[in-house]
Structure 1
Amino acid sequence: MKATLTFLGTGTSMGVPTLGCGCAVCTSAVTPPPAGDPRNRRTRPSVHIAWHSDGPDSYTDHAVLIDTGPDFHAQAIRERVTHVDAVFFTHPHADHILGMDDLRPLTFALVDPLPLYADDQTAATIERVFDYTFRPPSRGTTIARVKLNRFTEAYEAIHLFGASFQRIPVNHGNLVISGYRFGSAAYLTDMSSIPQASLAQLQNLDILILDALRHTPHPTHSNVENSLKIVDQLKPKRAFFTHMGHDLDHAATDATLPPHVRLAYDGLKLDFDLTPHITAEEIA
């Protein structure tokens, strides 16, 4: 089953350019080519996965988001996102959840509430930050029509329209958060390390997307060197780095990487196979 993954954003929590910074990368991000490089313009991290499924009467488009950061509105306009079937959240930090309210107009015409999937700590934060969304429905009709679903198992898989999205726990410093595998691709943002049990779920990948904040080590994020070691260990066909700060110039960093490893950039589209590696029967 063919699918397309679009990087809505590939930046760190402060984005690139970083406010108040005049470094070469931040300057390049806002300077037109050829002097500047638009790939250095990095909004907060999120991906959009789109595919088609054949129903009994129609050929249907489907789309899933992983995270809705504070830049989601602009990202959705840029990529012409007109509908969403589900949203998976990685963890409760601001750069991954604060755009949830921008889902509102995409939910108004839905027959059923838009499903959101998150672990307990992320769901609790979403309920607190957007408490007006989850109160009893007596305050108007312009709130997001969503249903928040909590994962009940560490490696739980959700089956949607012929695809499966499996939660993959990873370490974000001392915090255990959610990465995701879907078909032949995996998205692991904001990770500093991967538990052994999760590594076993990441075999035979076409696309591996990893956090790579900068060159120097960081207590809660992977850096370029560490992410390259993970690529060597898991041996995907292709690897892409995301959640990058202004330490990494796109062209200069890409030039140092192996041919099958690239920095992602906002708007990059990747085609891949979404055929479930976990069947609906296994999920049931």
Structure 2
Amino acid sequence: MKVTFLGTGTSQGVPVIGCDCEVCLSLDFRDKRFRTSIHIEVDGVSLVVDTGPDFRMQMLRSGVKTLDGILFTHEHKDHTAGLDDIRPFNFRQQKDMPIFARKPVIQQIQKEFSYVFSDKKYPGVPQISCVEIDENPFHINGVSIIPIPVYHYKLPVLGFRIGDFSYITDANFIPDESYKLLEGSEILVLNALQKEHHISHFTMDEAIFEAQKIGATRTYFTHISHKLGLHDQVTKELPEGIQLAYDGLELTLS
């Protein structure tokens, strides 16, 4: 399995428009963050988790040429807005793009991209097939995927586990039953927005606490705000086994 971080930034991305803080002005490529998304290649299957506003550039930058499905964590715009840009995959692969999401997420996508689901479609619109999922495990082309229920303030969000890789973004509460689903993870990805309290995201200290509680061999933080600080400086503050992810980072699991 290979996991590529397509984006590791928060809803505004980094740099933030009009901001002149040291992070937004940083020349370190690790401080340049598209909206949060990952690409997973496992057993010949190509999957993306979330299609934010930067989806097109993420696909171009990472060189993804085939895509077998898209998993959605939740319905917020910074995780869905780039869905229209699946069209080149429709053209190349000559088939609909399966999207996997909870019913409320599918309903929101159908509302925001109503032209895709119209009875009288404009030529060239994205071709999508919606697959409703819940909290039960499911398969995509033989790859087993375990949904991990978490909460983003009061909004239900799904993380996902594939093999020994577990991915959670946009969360500030993990239910007890979800910890059991995370046991034995080799790699955990978890959101860590900033150092100050936030109503719907883990802070860095909260994310460290959760990571140590889950006990994965390696943990990478994502969905990072410019308020967290410079990548190089924050890295020095993290415990052993915990790192900041950055755009373009590739992980390989045996």
Q: Which range, TM-score by smaller chain?
A: over 0.9
2:238 to 222, 244, 257: 257
Q: Where do 5+ consecutive residues of structure 2 fail to align?
A: none
In 1, Cα distance between equivalents of 2:162 and 2:120: 34
1:239-250 maps to which residues of 2 (within 5 A)?
A: 239-247=219-227, 248-250=229-231
1:120-156: per-residue Cα shift (whole Å, max 9, x none)?
A: 221111001111111125432x1111101111x3x22
Which runs of at least 4 in structure 1 moved beyond 6 Å after TM superposition?
A: none
Which SS does the other structure have where 1:75 is aligned? helix
1:213 to 164, 169, 193: 193
Which residue does the alignment assign to 2:181?
Answer: 201
In 2, Cα distance between equivalents of 1:106 and 1:123: 20
In 1, Cα distance between equivalents of 2:93 and 2:64: 15
In 1, Cα distance between equivalents of 2:165 and 2:127: 29
Which residue does the alignment assign to 1:39?
Answer: 30
Q: Report whether the alignment pairs 1:6 with 2:10.
A: no
Alpha-carbon distance, 1:111 to partner: 5.0
Q: Which has the larger radius of gyration?
A: 1
What is the identity, as a one-letter code, of the residue corresponding to 1:106?
A: F
What is the identity, as a one-letter code, of the residue corresponding to 2:14?
A: V
In 2, Cα distance between equivalents of 1:135 and 1:157: 31
1:5-154 maps to which residues of 2 (within 5 A)?
A: 5-28=3-26, 36-52=27-43, 61-136=44-119, 138-140=121-123, 142-151=124-133, 153=134
More off after superposition, 39-48 vs 118-127: 118-127
Q: Conserved in 2, the CA contact under 8 Å of 1:192 and 1:220?
A: yes
1:14-61: per-residue Cα shift (whole Å, max 9, x none)?
A: 010001100000000xxxxxxx21100011000000133xxxxxxxx3
1:63-95: per-residue Cα shift (whole Å, max 9, x none)?
A: 000000000101110001111000000111111
Identity of aligned residues (%): 36
More off after superposition, 156-165 vs 211-220: 156-165
Alpha-carbon distance, 1:244 to partner: 0.4
Alpha-carbon distance, 1:259 to partner: 2.2
Which SS does the other structure have where 2:253 is aligned? strand
Q: Conserved in 2, the CA contact under 8 Å of 1:108 and 1:145?
A: no
In 1, Cα distance between equivalents of 2:71 and 2:147: 9
Q: Conserved in 1, the CA contact under 8 Å of 2:115 and 2:121?
A: no
In 2, Cα distance between equivalents of 1:137 and 1:76: 29
In 1, Cα distance between equivalents of 2:53 and 2:147: 23
In 2, Cα distance between equivalents of 1:235 and 1:150: 31
State the TM-score, normalized to the length of structure 2.
0.96
In 1, Cα distance between equivalents of 2:42 and 2:205: 33
1:160-194: per-residue Cα shift (whole Å, max 9, x none)?
A: 23321111110100111111111101110000110
In 1, Cα distance between equivalents of 2:122 and 2:169: 36
State the TM-score, normalized to the length of structure 1.
0.86
Which SS does the other structure have where 1:23 is aligned? coil
- Number of corresponding residues: 253
More off after superposition, 108-117 vs 172-181: 108-117
More off after superposition, 78-87 vs 100-109: 100-109
1:99-122: per-residue Cα shift (whole Å, max 9, x none)?
A: 100001101243542210111221
Q: Conserved in 2, the CA contact under 8 Å of 1:12 and 1:44?
A: yes
C-alpha RMSD of the superposition: 1.2
Which SS does the other structure have where 1:170 is aligned? strand
